[in-house]
Amino acid sequence: MGSTNSSERLMMRRFLALGALVAAAMLGAVTPAFASIGVGTDMRSIEVTQPLVAGGTYQLHDFTIINTGSQPSGFGIQTSPTSKPGLRVPTSWLSFNPSAFYLDPKQGINVRPTLHVSVDATPGVYQVLLLGVPKLPGDLAPGGHMNVGVGPRLSFTVVQPNQWQRLYYAFKGWMPWSAIVVLVVVVLLVAVAWLMIWRARSRRVVPLSADASDEAAE
């Protein structure tokens, strides 16, 4: 009888130990599900006070995207319309450096936006949201996996260029910067060479003829 009770107690202990191991394994599998994914920023708005001329390219103020979650995550920068009144900013007008990145928990990164205003842009006030959007780890392709994003609201005013500015932007679009620099250097060299030749001619001494010398001697 005593040996039977001992065997039952031993089996019960083994069963409890096995149950504890199973519970620990299940708890370990469930724990990652409680990890959070979040995003934050250090700036609520970027307001450009000076009017921007259509056709120009402008470097905007940096803003920071922060991983406020408890696990590493990939992030990307996207634009989104605002509920504020204003003209809509085309996606092609904005570029970001970097546009996609990976952050550890509580880590942040500075993002530098650049605005390229089309030369045929409609004059007026424009507004758009610049959002840092969490993505699945390792997936930094366009298109967020979460319908959430945080970032500053960008607002600026576009005005039409004058005639000289139109000519400049048209010339800039037709010819790359490298060619423009070479052309300017060539024009300057030609101008300097012409100026040197003109000065040399103006300083040239004209010799007197023999008759003129004799008359001067008499």
* Mean pLDDT calculated for residue range 180-207: 77
- What percent of the chain lies above the pLDDT cut of 90? 41
- Number of helices (H), then strands (E), belonging to the chain: the values are 4, 12
* Confidence tier at 11 by pLDDT (50, 70, 90): low
pLDDT of 67 higher than 90: yes
* Mean pLDDT calculated for residue range 17-25: 53
Q: Which two tokens stand for residue 44?
A: 């609520």
Residue 81 Rama label (left phi>0; alpha psi -120 to 50; beta): beta
User: How far apart are alpha carbons 68 and 106 in whole angstroms?
Assistant: 5
pLDDT of 78 higher than 70: yes
Q: Which residue has the higher pLDDT, 11 or 208?
A: 11
Burial 68-101 (b: 16+ CB within 10 A, else e): bbeeebbbbbbbeeeeeeeeebeeebbebeeeeb
Q: Which residue has the higher pLDDT, 137 or 133?
A: 133
* Mean pLDDT calculated for residue range 34-51: 87
Cα distances (Å, whole numbers) of residue 51 to 38, 62, 66, 155 = 35, 19, 30, 11
* Confidence tier at 144 by pLDDT (50, 70, 90): very low
User: How far apart are alpha carbons 95 and 77 in whole angstroms?
Assistant: 9
Residue 126, classified by CB atoms within 10 Å of its CB into exposed (0-12), middle (13-18) or buried (19+), is buried
| Residue 37 confidence (pLDDT) | 81
* Mean pLDDT calculated for residue range 70-85: 91
User: How far apart are alpha carbons 83 and 78 in whole angstroms?
Assistant: 16
Bridge partners for 128 per DSSP: 154
102 and 130 Cβ atoms separated by less than 8 Å: no
| Residue 141 confidence (pLDDT) | 47
Q: Which two tokens stand for residue 67?
A: 């991983």
| Of the candidates 82, 53, 29, the residue with the CA atom closest to the CA atom of residue 164 | 53
* Confidence tier at 9 by pLDDT (50, 70, 90): low
